[in-house]
Structure 1
Amino acid sequence: MDMACLEIPGTVQGDKDFTILSDHRVIKNLLEAEKAYIPSMNYFIIQSDIKPFMRKVVTQWMLEVCEEQKCEDSVLPLAVNIMDRFMCACVIKRQDFQLLGASCLLIASKLRCCNQLGVDLLCAYTDNSVTPENIQSWELLILSKLQWEMSAITGFDYVDQVIGRCSWGNDSTLLRRHSNTLVSVCYTEPSLIQYAPSLIAAACLCSAVRGLKLSSARQAASDICMMLNVDPINMELLVRFIDQTIEQSVSQSSTTQQQEVVQEEEISTKFAEYEQPETPTEVNNLYFCD
């Protein structure tokens, strides 16, 4: 009997489940459950060796790992949520921050990925500054500190629910992609640690709709606020923050690219000053003996 698996490798987006999308209890249950997974405090108060900019660096590294490995969009928000809740319960040293991030990525990938991130792969992403034994021991530490409550509600969980329930959700095929990207960006921002996932999702959806310049932008904002029980003023403030963050990121990226181009031109100019014949004279004067 031929037992070969003929499935196409990679991530395949499933079809919409209209039974779930038509049931109002789904979002209601998400809104109720999310309260248990919001970090209980601004942990920088108790983490004397950890600063907000360090969290930014570590979470951006986690984002890059997820992007390079083409992980599902839900992996990063869950990993960061696990990390934030752990930091509320346990004080760590700055030397262990990346190790904590790698361990949280391992746990999140087991829950949300078809193909989990390997321990050896995560070690390689840290330039082998940690060992597989380190990650495995920290995985158990995180699970014990959080009492195995790993399947948290994140901003990602609301995106498909909102898009699938609204008529404007089909106005652009890029809406889901843009919204999930913005959700990931929000989870790298230290100032949003204690923001409710529903508020983050609402602001990201609204920002994506406006960024794509959909004609239904005003209606979308109203629908999102009503569906996720979000204050329109709070959502607007967060939308502005997201837009500014993206603008700064694009500006910094553009500046970095321009600097790299200038450096390449300077190097090319310096090399051009040293003109050499295709075959140096010294080589023509060499005699090889048997």
Structure 2
Amino acid sequence: CSVLCRRHRTCSAPRKVSQEKKKSVDPGCPGDGGKEAHATLRRHRKQTLVSKLSDSGFEEELGSSPIGLPARVDVSPLRSDERPSGRVSNWYLQYGDVGFQIQRDNEALFYSCKSLAHQPQLTAEARCKLVSWLIPVHKHFRLSFECCCLAVNIVDRFMAATPVAADCFQLLGVTALLLASKQVEVCSPRIGHLLDLCCDAFTKEQLCNLECLVLLRLNFRLSAPTLAFFLDYYANSADAAPFKDETPCSSGSASTHPDARRPERCGSMARKVCELSLADYAFNKYPPSLTARCALRIAGELLEREHPGTPSQGSCNHDPAQECRDSLRLLVSLNQDSLEELMLRSEGWCPRSLHTSK
């Protein structure tokens, strides 16, 4: 009986000590334990102010600079404007044909050929000015060409569903660019930076309200097939089969005069042609897949020192592909200066092929 009493005393002793420790840690008591707990609570309240919500709704650190632009992080081939020369992308080898077929099936659901039909205050010239302004803006924010094409698609689809006032057209452009960047980019530009480019003509509340309206009008469907996707697919197809005549960037002389930088030059030139077609409302009647393929064909003609301003003879007038190529040739001849500047950036590349015969 005495042994059991000793065991009971030894087991009950730590319980008394733990109860005394709990009493000493009580913040209501005036002891040292209350001061430590009070300091812990103060530190906890300070730590809750470390982060805030950004324009996109995600938390970001307060110490980040509001001026510096985010570095480009390429997680997809469509986010990268420069493809590795002489090497086919891994995404094309694994998912190229499947992704192409899916985008081709969805193409008719996402592009509007008559976006200005119900716009009494907007014209094709106003649309050309807006798109021509969005192209350097997306480069300023280091956004991809996929983002720029998607922004133009959002603008056209919204105009097809809702009349837009002329003084709000620029606001629609930056709102579409913000939505496109949230859809395809890792980091989107801040609303304040976008409004600064508009000379502070609009407020943040106006942009956010228009952003909600655009999402409602488009039923939150933003994954549209774009020129950038089909351009990248066809460029990879040309790299995978460089000696086939049916590929847009290849020709019969490619085997006799090999050029390691030819796919890279062809892709850069085709992208410039696609930028010009984005601003021209006349090309809205062509699906993006057709425009991208014809742009690569025109780029191949430019590399072969042919005269793009002269339409090919003996073609059928009812062929949409031939009609699109002839329209692109005319567009190239009207924008020789900008294309010559791009060609001069390449080493040892003479821009004589751009001059049309008169």
Q: Write the mapping of 1:110-149 to structure 2, written as runs, cut at 5 A.
A: 110-149=182-221
Corresponding position: 1:243 with 2:329: yes
- C-alpha deviations, 1:199-233, integer Å up to 9, x for none? 11111111112122289xxxxxxxxxxxxxxx994
Amino acid at match of 1:237: E
SS at match of 1:244: helix
Distance 2:123 2:207 in 1: 22
Instruction: Give the share of equivalent positions with the same residue, in percent.
Output: 19
Q: Write the mapping of 1:7-156 to structure 2, written as runs, cut at 5 A.
A: 9-12=71-74, 13=80, 16-17=89-90, 20=93, 24-39=97-112, 42-156=114-228
Q: Write the mapping of 1:191-202 to structure 2, written as runs, cut at 5 A.
A: 191-202=282-293
Structure with greater Cα Rg: 2
Amino acid at match of 1:30: Q
- C-alpha deviations, 1:144-167, integer Å up to 9, x for none? 000000110011111222222332
Amino acid at match of 2:273: L
Could you tell me which runs of 5 or more consecutive residues in structure 2 were left unpaired when the two chains were aligned.
1-69, 75-79, 243-248, 250-259, 307-316, 341-358
- C-alpha deviations, 1:252-279, integer Å up to 9, x for none? 999xxxxxxxxxxxxxxxxxxxxxxxxx
CA gap of 1:60–1:134, structure 2 versus 1, over 3 A, is same
SS at match of 2:178: helix
Distance 1:19 1:55 in 2: 33
Q: Assess if the C-alpha contact under 8 Å between 1:77 and 1:155 holds in 2.
A: yes
Q: Tell me the C-alpha RMSD between the 2 structures.
A: 2.8
CA gap of 1:21–1:241, structure 2 versus 1, over 3 A, is farther
Distance 2:160 2:194 in 1: 24
Aligned length: 231
Amino acid at match of 2:237: R
TM-score when normalising by structure 1: 0.71
Partner of 1:176: 267
Could you tell me which runs of 5 or more consecutive residues in structure 1 were left unpaired when the two chains were aligned.
1-7, 216-230, 255-290
Distance 2:305 2:103 in 1: 27
Distance 1:242 1:118 in 2: 35
Distance 1:113 1:23 in 2: 20
